[in-house]
Structures are given as C-alpha cells and as structure tokens.
Structure 1
C-alpha cells in the first residue's frame, strides 16, 4: 500500500480529495491509476476507496503553485468514473473550484491576507483564469458563515468566484458550430462554449416537462439514449471529435421557470445521469446563452417572459432540481458575444486532512481523456 497527502473538501455541491501535483507522478496515465485506486472506481459504491458512488462525489482536484504570471496556483480537475476504469481530465468543475482557494491557503501555497484573500487560479483543463475571494479574518480561512447555496445543507462562509474570459474554453469559440441554433435528428439545439461546452434543447422537444426530478429523468425508458445520440453528434459538430466515453459536451434541458424572478428552469446531464443541481460551469454557459439572440435559451426566455427589450441580462437566476443559482455577467461594450466575467457565490468546507492510501495493479485497464 502506498499513500499521498490529501485533504478531502466539499466545494459547492461536490466533494472529493484535494492533492498536490508534486505528490503525483508527472505522467497522466500513472496519475489516473492512482486516482482510480484511491477513489475505489469499478464498484457502484466505490466501497474500496474514498469516492461516494456518485459523479458529484467522484471528483479530484489537483493543485500546485503556478508559473503563470497572473495566477497563484494551477488547478487540474479530474472526473473519475464510478463504475468504469476511466478518468476524464477534459472538463472543468466550478464547484470543486470553490474549495481550491481555501485548500491553497490551508497548505501554504498562498499566504493569507487580513480580511479577504484573493487567490488567482489557472484552470489547466481550460487554460482560463478564475479569481477566488476567500474570507480570511485573522489570516485564517473562515468556513462558518450565513451563506446558503441550493443543494448543500446548512450555511457557510461565502466564497466569490469570478470566471474571466471564459468564451470558447474548450473549442476556442463561443459558438463552435458557427450557428446560434441548428437541428440534430429533428431536434432544435444550440451549441455553446462558455466555461464548458453545452448542448441546449427545450425539454418539451424530448417529450418531458423539464420539472421532473433527476431520478425520474434517469428512469425514463428512452431519454438518456436519445440525449447521448444528440450529444455525440453535437460533439462532432463542435470540433470535439468522438465524445463517446467523455463527459463533454454536457446536455442541458431547459423549460420556463416556475417563478418570475428566475430566467429558466434547467436539467443538466453529467452526461449519462441528471445532475441533482447544476454545475457552476454549466450555469455560466446557460447564462451566456440567454443573452445571445437566436439561441434556444434566448428564444425561450424572451417568449416566456414576454420581453421586447434587447438589453443584456446582467443578473441571472436559474432554477434546478435542488433550488436556484444566481450569477452576474459582465460584458465588454454591451456585446453579447464578448463576455468578460461571470461571478457567483459558493461555499466550501474542510472535511479531513491526512494521507490517502492506494494500491496499483500492473494489469489495470483504463481510459484517460486529456485536456
């Protein structure tokens, strides 16, 4: 048995081990073998590791000091498959990112300041920068507070995340197919890439209301198969290649919100299961889509709210299965195609700190998807 230092943290609505890059081998396939073992993948409960038997709790954050002049730390996210020997390094996770700042401060990668510390993060999955504002009264990370986020019990200290210049994070373009909407297999969709690539479609076009619970959508006899077929074709059109076995792009079903305060109601897939809330990066992409004329999201929003103004929506609230998420968007020169920054409030908690043990098998067969 071998071990490496580890801190298990909750970040937003996700949870997983946080590990120093310097404690892992440099080869990504060797890193993947370690992650699969320590998470216990290959078993539905991940009973032989620290994974939680769900995509939201089978995530790993790898953090290290950054050489980038505008960043303090680098953050590499790994989505570890629960049932299969597969590790995907292509997506980012904004929820796990919520705990990167606290982790960097706890481990001495960044020196805490009095009051609030700004931790500048470079996400290696997307090569984008994020500013994390972490409360540090007395130069110590504060976890207790009165901020409540949907999908997490209780309250905690608020951590502001600001994602900078996130258009085209994986494809290089906000509209990777060059179109605001198009048809795949007789279904109207919009393909966008802002913080993460997504495929948007109306829930009604799939014969569902969009108000179903994740369990109900997961149990639908044909929905997941149909969505995967659409996702695979969208991936090709977006320049992502063959996305079978990968988690990007993500599919988002949208419907009219239940309250006038919210812009849309969303169901986000990860990708072969409905998310119990919504990923931060997915929420950012939907926010961007609402402001781009002609997208499925923009058309549904304008239609449902009976809006005639062309002003950009700077404050966006999205409904999801666990509640709501609030985002603030900033544009350059009020151009919907030039999104400068998206900010939102998350929380995090330190759960344990110590060593995590793993064992390697030379015969392990696995799949690694690199950023």
Structure 2
C-alpha cells in the first residue's frame, strides 16, 4: 500500500528540498522524520543513492521543510527543517537551514497560507528548530510570486528574483549564548578556535594551524581522510563546551577553516557540515562567521581583513564565490550585540504534485 502526500519542490538559495504543509503530515515529529526519510530515500534503512526516493544523493539536496500556520504572536508561519543524513537512515531536526528558509515564504504564498500583497509580500517565519524569527521579503507583483529577476548568488547558475531574509534576535538560539563557552578564544586538542552561535553553531579554526592554505579544493579536502578525522575529533570534544552535549550523531556544530580573503572579501572559508566539505557555505553559518569577524579577540583576528571598523556588509568567501551578510550590531561593554542579520537569497518553484510513500 502506498500513501500519497501533496508536496512542492523548491530550490532555496544553494539548496533544494521537499516542502510540505503541516496539515498533510503527522503531528508527531518522529513520524514526520520517518515520512520524510521514505520520501527522500524510499527506505528507512539508508541508501546513499536515494534511488527509490526524490533525494538528490547529496546533503544539499536531501532537505525538507514543513510549514504551517503559526501560533507565535510575531509570526505568520511556522517552519520545521529536516536534514536527511544521506545513506544513514537518519533525519536530523537539530538545526535550521537558511537556504531552505528562502523557499518558505514563496511556498506559504503559493499554498495560500499567506495572502500576497502587491508588489511585495512580507512573511514572518518562526523557526521551530532553533527559535527566532526571520522576516522574509518576496516580490509578488499582482499578487503572484515572481521567480524571475537579476539577483545572482554564488553557487546557483543564472539569475532570479531577490528574496531578502532578515534574521531577528537569533544570537545563541541553539547554544544559549552568542559565545557558548563564554570566551572569544578557546583551545581544544591543541588548537585555538572560536565557538559562536548567531543562528548556527560554528567552530572557527585557522587553516594554517593544520598546515593548509585554506584555499584547497573541495575535492582535495574531501579526500583528506586524516584531516577530516582530526577535525571531527575536535568537534566531538567541543560539543559539550557549546552546550550541545554529545555531538557524534548530530549535524552541529559546523566546522569552519578560515584563511585571509583572496577576492576582496573579509574572510575565506572551507566549511565541514559536519563531515562533508561544503561546496559553498550555509546562510546561517555565514552569519555566524561574519559575526566572529567583529568579536574582539576571536580566532579571526589577524586573518580577516576588516579595512573599515564601521562596515556592516561582510563578504564571506567560499569555494563557489561569496555570501554577503548585512550585520546590524553594536559593541556594548566590550561585547557584541547583534540586532539583525540580513542576507540576499533567491528561490524557484521546481515542481508540485503528490509523492508516494509506503504505509
């Protein structure tokens, strides 16, 4: 027996995922995870090819969003993010995703959850995984979502209509504090590092401390099994220090190697998410990295090139180009207070219909 479920597939930023209305899925989170796993891989036992499901056999294309009306007084919709751990038979809700979030507002408008305005619709999204509100601005001329435009983001071919995501009060949303350890700089396993959470828990380390330039290709880093094992060992040690507990089976924190910028940005990065080397950088990870740049005494000091101390737009370089982050922050009593963080993304509706899973 197979059960049909209405869905849409959207590209959000540099990711691609299946989008569901909450009313079409079970209420229990574990049951939702099972349904998403079956939809993506066709089995609960794990298949790295995802041959019997709609997944793309890659972490960036094995994502899902569940969207529904919000009970939060300051939000229009609730958004639950699910990450399928490719081939492992696992689904994580331990983090949110800023790229998939870029598709939430268009999906909410397409499904009638939010009524469109002309020419722009503002959708306030309550991020259930971590907490926090994101204000998303979508072009909706004549009340219809516009997907065509001239906005370009690195990691996505062509251009599209801009989707503006303004994250409000997300500092410490997962770990409980912007600097979860209480320090701007820590030492773990003989390596100096900075632990930070401005919407995504991230650990920053200097690539040079591992004998690397920081500009190695994704393929070279992916094939460096010794390096990945070393970074994973540090990640496991740092998890409890970030109030995340045992993280061996979790997708956070993300690990980020940093180096001086090559193309006029403020910092060059290589992200591990957490064991896979990212082709680009996640939105919220980029926000956390950008925030680390302005934290006094962080590992980014002496690596980042911040020519103007009053800058508010940060270009975070990655293997596919750059991610620009707009930070509204101030320094109070020697501590960074982030009021708002904004990024430009794009999104596109790829398909809609019904998918089938075995009951």
Q: What is the deviation of 1:222?
A: 0.5
Take 1:163 and 1:297, find their aligned partners in 2: how far apart are those partners?
Answer: 23
Q: What is the deviation of 1:312?
A: 4.2
Q: Identify the match of residue 209 of structure 2 among 190, 205, 211.
A: 205
When the two chains are superposed, the root-mean-square deviation of aligned CA atoms in Å is 1.3
Instruction: Show structure 1 runs of 5+ residues with no match.
Output: 361-371
Q: Identify the match of residue 266 of structure 1 among 262, 266, 269.
A: 269
Q: For residues 164-218 of structure 1, what are the alpha-carbon distances to aligned partners after superposition, in whole Å with 9 as ceiling and x for unaligned?
A: 1111010110111011111111111100111111110001112221111111101
Q: What is the deviation of 1:101?
A: 0.5
Q: What is the deviation of 1:127?
A: 1.0
Match of 2:316 in 1: 318
Structure 1's 346 and 43: CA in aligned 2 closer, same or farther, altered over 3 A?
same
Instruction: Show structure 2 runs of 5+ residues with no match.
Output: none
Q: Count matched residues.
A: 354
Match of 2:298 in 1: 295
Q: What is the deviation of 1:221?
A: 3.1
Q: What is the deviation of 1:336?
A: 5.2
Match of 2:15 in 1: 14
Q: What is the deviation of 1:89?
A: 0.3
Is 1:5–1:356's contact at 8 Å kept on the other side of the alignment?
A: yes
TM-score (norm 1): 0.93
1:205-244 alignment runs, 5 A limit: 205-244=209-248
Q: What is the deviation of 1:332?
A: 4.4
Q: What is the deviation of 1:318?
A: 1.0
Structure 1's 333 and 223: CA in aligned 2 closer, same or farther, altered over 3 A?
closer
Aligned partner of residue 300 in structure 1, secondary structure? coil
Moved more, 290-299 or 72-81: 290-299
Match of 2:3 in 1: 2
Match of 2:93 in 1: 89
Is 1:291–1:313's contact at 8 Å kept on the other side of the alignment?
A: no
TM-score (norm 2): 0.96
Q: What is the deviation of 1:349?
A: 0.3
* Structure 1 residue runs of 4 or more that deviate by more than 6 Å after TM superposition: none
Aligned partner of residue 64 in structure 1, secondary structure? strand
